Structure 1
Amino acid sequence: MDDPIFQPLHFRHLTVKNRLFRSSISGRIDSYDGSGTAARINWEKKFARGGVGAIISSHIPVDPSQRILPNYAMIDRDEQIPFWREVVKNVHQYDCKFIGQLSMSGRQQDIKGVENKHRVPLSSVDGWEHFHGLSGKAMNQKQIAESVLTFARAAGRARQAGMDGIELHAANGYLFTQFLSSAINKRSDDYGGTLENRARFLLEVVGAIRQEVGADYHLQVKFNAADYHNDYVLNVGKGNTLVEGVQVAKWLEQAGVDALHVSVGSQFPHPRNPCGPFPAESASVTYPSMIPSGKLSFWNYLLFRYKLSWPLVIWLWARRQPKIREGINLEECRAIKNAVTIPVLCTGGFQTASVIRAALVKKDCDGVSIARPLMANPNLPLLFAEGKDQAPKPCTYCNKCLAHVLVDPLGCYDESRFESYEAMMDEIMNIFRDENVLL
């Protein structure tokens, strides 16, 4: 009971039983039209059963034209409220909280889906980004205002569904980042130029959500403490600095946000998020699904396709990565935490109890969010509670899961962690067994 990891975390309107959050991570396991499935319920339920204090959902699209990938459960209409209520019920049976992460893709739309095949996604600016070459069309002010209302209505549905709170996904290259980042946003109107203008869209969404759900509903924001935009070969400019990230954090606190969730990286994937090597071999199999999406996707595929180029791909990806993997964002998180009074969560490869405990004791953060290491070991919190410092077979940060998510069910694809290929697939496919759902 004296372990900082298992001390309750008190927010203004929410209490979580420990300091371990399942971060946003999921795969294409729902219906194509955005309705949810039993597999989604099973997916969330296994982490609740494993002992995390709260689950931050996978990104929940609030508008079909702004979904990142097909086959993710959405919250764009009232008919979806009963499904999310069922998800929450299953998670709550393990004394675990559920926080829905609301998102819009902007131009970072990995696979458009048939409904978006012939339209360019709305973004902060015209043009394409420099990793996949995904194109966007600049939103006019009417479209920005409509998006603000769309987020607010989705937040209202989340509260009706019984979610314990919501998180705005303003990190890692999605629509909010496309407005916030100085390396991306080249607008000359009220939504571009100065940092205050670039933050306007996000702050307007926060204000609209507060009007919709009230002041007593948990609202947190995941955002980039710094962009590190020049970690990519073809990208120029650093993007937002940590100083700018601190200022955004202060504005969000003033706007009534209950917590901040710190990440880094101007796009996803990014060399610092998720940390670890680029999975070139796995990408050679799954990346063809991206070829129709971006101007650079075909050329990327050629690099991934041939073994001779894999060392180059891996080196380019890792050349600016810090040597540290676990707790990679703690330095940035510490700066944010020192600037605000609300709780601050940190993401970044956590899977060792002593590392997490030290970060909490030193007040680098108030809690940690975990994705891949929990996917490798969903019972990791229970192992910590037993006194173990790590799982017997920890996550190797191989990032094969990242490559597979485009076309395959999400799970740990590091065969070295399993007795056999069949055992690995049995673990991955377990979420599709309907008997696991509490109805």
Structure 2
Amino acid sequence: MIFEPFTLNGVTFANRILRSSVGGRSAQYDGTVTTIWKNFEKRFAEGGVGGIISTTLNVNKYRKAPLEYPPISEDRYVAPLKRFIAEIRATGCRYLVQIGDPGYATQAGLFPEQEDTHSASRGLDLIYGYGGLHTPLSEPQILHVIKDFGDAAVRVREAGADGLELTASKGYIIHQFLNPAINRRRDAWGGDAERRFRLLGEVVKEIRARVGADFLFGVRLAAEDCNHLPLNLRWPPTFFRGNGLRETLDQGRRLKALGVDFLHIDSGFGFIHPRVTPGPFPYDEARIFFDQVRHLSWKAALRASVFHLVPRFLGRWLFNLGWRYREGINLGHAHRFKQEVGLPVIANGGFQRQSSIEAALGDGRCDMVSMARALIANPDLVQQFKAGREQPDNPCTHCNRCAGRTATSPLGCYDLSRFPSVEAMQDQILAWNRSDP
């Protein structure tokens, strides 16, 4: 079934494999996309994927994080996107733009900004975001967030994308309002499940009203929050109060009633997370990142210091608690959504073998699968499947080093075990980031 076309709201994908959202420093410093960004995306398109979901384009113009990541927060970003998306789509690959707002999960910036601490409620998260205490959004600020998403959705359509995906996962601001451990408000935007859903619901209504019923529009949703993972210090210490499948299935039913076309299912609160990127915790890459942003706040400095004070052997063991690779880790959840919500479902999480993908599609557990790490390792993976291979000759090890490097380095495979030399690995990384003459 991998190579059977699939249509969503008038958009036909040539096959059932999508490159999922993955970020990288491939834009200009102000966020304007470049030929490097286009060539990075185009390599997956030429490799045969049915569609690409962009990195999360930020809808908030005040968040500059990380630098060289493309936003869609102002009209000036539309023209360059339109030019390059047209080139990507000319290969026959469909292109969806994912939009979001990290809120307090903003990981970096030129300078510390109060805007980067915004969330549903006051609190502290040691791992995600560089800021110290979160600051709750006021009602006017929440209404502005809704407008930001609507404005961004219009820009996505103007840029010539085939559709858009709204991220209500990754620990970003909508997810912060959904998660009962993070959202402890007692007003109309928090408290019970219905009020915690309100921000997502209002954003979805705003987007659908602005782009029309004929534009492909889906939501990336976490099936379980798994707040106890990864190892983290969070205040208040409400680790086990995240949403479970019962709550998120209800969210899925509400989204269907609001006119969403598909659901993209993962799990876990925050990025990186063992349910989003199953495999080992990239300890050394996390140290690199924490060192790079340690100047932005007392929390960022403390976090970096902890990673240096703890001996490496102990740190690797400690921070790897709860991390392991499992193929198709969220497939069971995707199946539940397909059965009980009735929307088309994309499953995410550790796919790489052709037989596993065929089984997931053939059994009706999902309609499409998405992946990033396996395609970074082998951008021609779909072509290799078409040639009859069960998996690539040099498969992705799901080591998560690429995920740990996304905010600090050019995006590519950083697992030296896959290359004959450091030089060969560097050549592959730099090849991804080659610009047009």
Could you state the TM-score of these two structures normalised by the residue count of structure 2? 0.94
The whole-number CA distance in structure 2 between the counterparts of 1:295 and 1:255 is 42
Residue of 217, 229, 243 corresponding to 1:219: 217
Q: 2:149 matched to which residue of 1? A: 151
Moved more, 293-302 or 240-249: 293-302
Query: 2:264 is aligned with what amino acid?
Result: H
Answer yes or no: is the 8 Å Cα contact 1:107–1:128 preserved in 2: no
Query: Counterparts of 1:153 and 1:283 in 2: how far apart (Å)?
Result: 34
Root-mean-square deviation (CA, aligned residues, Å) is 1.8
Asked if 1:249 corresponds to 2:246, the answer is no
Give the residue type in structure 1 aligned to 2:118.
Answer: L
Deviates more, 1:421-430 or 1:216-225: 421-430
What is the identity, as a one-letter code, of the residue corresponding to 2:435? D
- 1:384 is matched with 385
How many Å apart are 1:79 and its aligned residue?
A: 1.8
User: What amino acid sits opposite 2:311 in the alignment?
Assistant: S
Q: Which amino acid aligns with 2:80?
A: F
User: Is the CA contact 2:279–2:325 (under 8 Å) kept in the aligned structure 1?
Assistant: no
Task: Tell me by how many angstroms 1:357 deviates.
Answer: 0.7
Deviation string, structure 1 residues 199-222 (Cα, Å, up to 9, x no partner): 110110110111111111000000
- The code of the aligned residue for 1:104 comes to D
Seq. identity, % = 37
Name the counterpart of 2:321. Answer: 319
Which piece of structure 1 moves more, 426-435 or 75-84? 426-435
1: CA distance, partners of 2:26 / 2:394: 26
Instruction: Measure, in 1, the Cα distance between the counterparts of 2:426 and 2:16.
Output: 31
**1:283 counterpart residue number:** 286
| Alignment of 1:83 onto 2:80 | yes
Contact 2:283/2:319 (<8 A) preserved? no
Residue type at the aligned position of 2:287? S
Q: After superposition, where does 1:169-318 map in structure 2 within 5 Å? A: 169-233=167-231, 234-235=233-234, 236-293=239-296, 295-305=298-308, 309-318=311-320
Which residue in 2 is equivalent to 1:364?
A: 365
Counterparts of 1:252 and 1:118, CA distance in 2:
32
- Rounded to whole Å, the distance in 2 between the matches of 1:344 and 1:154 is 24
Residue 271 to residue 294, structure 1, CA distance change in 2 (3 Å): farther
Change (3 A) 1:119 1:82: closer
Q: Which residue of 2 aligns with 1:347?
A: 348
Structure 2 segments unaligned to the other structure (5+ residues)? none
Over residues 86-116 of structure 1, what are the superposed CA-to-partner deviations in whole Å (9 max), with x where a residue is unaligned? Answer: 22112112110000000101100100234x5
Q: Is 1:39 paired with 2:36?
A: yes
- Shift in CA distance, 182/359, structure 1 to aligned 2, threshold 3 Å: same
AA in 1 matched with 2:365: D
Report deviation, 1:350. Answer: 0.7
Instruction: Return 27-36 or 179-188, whichever deviates more.
Output: 27-36
Q: Say whether the 8 Å CA contact 2:184–2:191 is kept in structure 1.
A: yes
What's the CA shift for 1:299? 4.1
Give the superposition deviation at 1:288: 0.3
TM-score normalised to structure 1 length = 0.93
**Alpha-carbon distance, 1:146 to partner:** 1.1
Kept in 1, the 8 Å contact 2:272–2:404? The answer is no
CA distance in 1, matches of 2:34, 2:377: 22
- 1:320 and 1:413 map into 2 onto residues whose CA distance is 22
The alpha-carbon deviation at position 137 of structure 1 amounts to 1.5
Between 1:179-188 and 1:274-283, the stretch displaced more is 274-283
Matched, 1:430 2:435: no
The residue identity in structure 2 corresponding to 1:156 is V
Residue 9 of structure 2 aligns to a residue whose secondary structure is: coil
Q: CA deviation at 1:433?
A: 2.6
- 1:296/1:277 CA distance change after superposition, 3 Å: farther
Q: Does 1:121 align with 2:117?
A: yes
The change in CA–CA distance for 1:67 and 1:370 in structure 2 (over 3 A counts) is: farther
Once the 2 structures are TM-superposed, how far is the Cα of residue 16 of structure 1 from its aligned partner? 0.9
Q: Are 1:62 and 1:74, in contact at CA under 8 Å, matched by a contact in 2?
A: yes
Aligned residues: 430
Indicate if the aligned counterparts of 2:36 and 2:436 stay in contact, CA closer than 8 A: no
What's the offset of the Cα at 1:5? 0.6
* Stretches of structure 1 lacking an aligned partner (at least 5 in a row): none
Q: Matches of 1:202 and 1:119 in 2, distance apart?
A: 20
For residues 280-335 of structure 1, what are the alpha-carbon distances to aligned partners after superposition, in whole Å with 9 as ceiling and x for unaligned? Answer: 233333430132346544444345436x73343333344334x6521011111111
Segment of structure 1 superposing worse, 294-303 or 96-105: 294-303
In the alignment, is the contact (CA less than 8 A) between 1:67 and 1:105 conserved in 2?
no
